[in-house]
Each structure stands twice: as C-alpha cells, then as structure tokens.
Amino acid sequence: MIKTQELTVNMGPVHPSTHGVFRCVIKLDGEYVTDVENHTGYLHRGLEKLAESRTYTQFIPYTDRLDYVSGIMNNHAYVMAVEKLMPELEVPERAEYIRVILAELQRMANHMLFIGTFSLDVAGLTGLFYALRDREYILELLEEVTGSRLTPSFMRIGGVPEDLTPDWLARTRKVIDDIEARAIPEYNDLITGNEIFQARTKLTGIATKEQAIDWGWSGPNLRASGVPYDLRKDEPYSIYDRFEFDVPVGTNGDNFDRYYQRVLEIPESIKILRQAIDTIPEGPIMAKVPKVIKPPAGEVFFQYEHAKGQLGFYIVSDGSTKPYRLRIYSPAFEALGLFPTIGKGCLVQDTVVTLASIDIVLGEVDR
C-alpha cells in the first residue's frame, strides 16, 4: 500500500469562494480533505463595542453592515429589540405591514443571491446571471422606498420614516407574480434539475438533524436538515401570526437540500407578500416617540427569523440614551461552526460547495 504525505493548504483569506474575508486551513490526502480548521476575525470591526458610544437611533446604520446583503432585516431585528425595551411604545399597524413587506422582499433578494452564487461555486455561471437579473427587480423596489440598494438604514424605533404608495404596491405585486410564474421554474430547469449539479451536491456536506440542533443551526440550514422550525410560525413576532404560509423542510441535510430549501422559501415569501399587500391598512407610520430615546433600565433578548437564520440582539439598558451593553447573536457564525465537521471526508472541490451551501456573510460572522 502506497502512503502519501498529507498536504496542508490555506483556502483564503482572499479565495473567491469564501463569501468574504475568511480563511480555512485544510489537510489533504491527495484530493480528499481529512481536516478543516476555521480562522475568522479578518472583518472584525467591534460593532458591539461601538454600540456603547452611539445612541439607540445612531446604531441603526451599523446594523446594515452585519449581513450586508440583508440590511433591511438587520434593521428590523434591531429596532424591534429596542422596542421590546419600551413596552409603552405601540408601533402603528401600517408600519408593521410596511416592515413585513420590505423584510420579505429582502428575504427573496437574499435567497436569489444565494442561488446565483451557489450555482457559480458549482461552476454554473449561467445560473448566476438568471438569479441576479431577478434580484435586480426587487432591489429597484427596495431602493425606491429606502433610498439604498445595500445599506438602507430604513427602520426607525417606533415605525418607518416613509410610506408606501399604491403604485409601488401594485408594481410589487406584478414583480412577485412574475417571479413565481417565470423565475422559479427557470431556476428549477436550469439549476435544480441539472444532472451535473445534482451529482455535485447530493449526499455531500451532510448535516444530520442532531448535528444541526447541537451546533445551534437555525433558519434554512436547520430546516434543510429536517427540522420544521421557523420563528415566524412557531414564535411569531410583529404581525406574522396573521399570514398563512408553509415551512418547507429537507430530508438529507446535504448541499442539495440546503440549496433547494432557499428555492422553496421564495414562494412562501410571495404568499406572505400577497396577503400583506391585500390587507395593509391606512393610518400613521410612526408612533409617538420622544425626540431623545431613553429606554428604562433593564435587559432584553430578541430573536428574529432572518434570511440566514435566527438573528438575535441582546441589549442592556441603564436608562441613558446609549446601550450599556449590546451583543449580537449571529446565525452565520453558528452555521460556520459545523463547517469543519461536514466539510471533511470528501473531495476538495466538494468542500468549497459545502461552504457555499451554508450561506455565510463574514460581516455578520466577525461583527
């Protein structure tokens, strides 16, 4: 029997398939990966410490820089955490509907970017162009309301700063109808049903139900491993308890299931959007919020069903205008923790696909 010496290779910190400034050290026995070790921290900016020297409102733009492809959802989670510190604050119903509409559009845009980049990481360039084309329609709608495509800083403590026009709602309905009728079948024809794509993704990077739970996975990654848990359904916040939608789950917890989970979740967001557009009430969009926000002393932890999993904000208030302490619970960081386990025992090119399948953004991992 011929024995070969293991080769240690750095993948990153500038590797194009690492979805940010991330490095992992892999050991190879020929083309097979025998060990994976994460190295993070290249994008650490100290956001949690910065929060202590910013007022509650001033910190909103910093949340855009967490998962910087889902800024609206980061805003939404943070302002709801602060509002939980201020139980006397009643967010107007119309503002709640606007928040949900924007958040679900952002979820769709996140999943489309994932579908496109995941296809690229499996060497399918065409899939990237199709997904980015459809994501562009959504970003145009979001930019019209928030003024930004990437860093909206739109949510406010107590509501939202701008209203939606009937024309915008009508155009949004047209866009989501088109995505459901045309885009989803195209993704399935071009990517999902492709034999080479299936050969590269099925039964690789398997995360069992037990592993996913033990490592604190959440969101699409957890559901792809067969756990039907979604905060919008199981612990509803805002007005999500008013909407009917399903929670799709996977069976094998492999790279294919994690990809297909995102494809299945887009139509569910469309269901929520249609119901919200049909039932959005008239009325104010901001609560009566004092000019200087000083939540009473106390502490809260709020979890939010983000596009990448459960995003959490833990805030300690001492009664002043700034948080005494703020901590961010990152779903991408939790997902990355299991990567060394599911990324080994396969070919090196499959390890790259496995990393792509857990959908991380290093801005949120490192914070």
The secondary structure of 171-237 as a DSSP string is HHHHHHHHIIIIIHHHHIIIIIT-HHHHHHHTTSS---HHHHHHTT--HHHHHHTT----HHHHS--
pLDDT, position 1? 47
The whole-model pTM stands at 0.92
Measured distance CA(37)–CA(11) in Å, rounded: 10
Q: What angle do CA 62, 24, 132 make, to 5 degrees?
A: 55
Task: State how far Cα 345 lies from the chain centre.
Answer: 28
The secondary structure of 260-314 as a DSSP string is HHHHHHHHHHHHHHHHHHHHPPPS-SB----SS--PPSEEEEEEEEETTEEEEEE
State in Å, rounded, how far the first CA of the chain is from the last one: 48
Contact 258, 357 (CB under 8 A): yes
Contact 130, 116 (CB under 8 A): yes
pLDDT, position 17? 61
Mean pLDDT in order along the chain per 10 residues (367 residues): 75 70 87 88 89 93 89 94 92 94 94 91 87 94 91 91 91 94 93 90 91 91 93 92 93 92 94 94 91 91 93 93 94 90 87 88 86
pLDDT, position 323? 94
What radius of gyration do the chain's Cα atoms show?
Answer: 21
Q: 78-108 b/e with 16+ CB inside 10 Å = b?
A: bbbbbbbbbeebebbbbbbbbbbbbbbbbbb
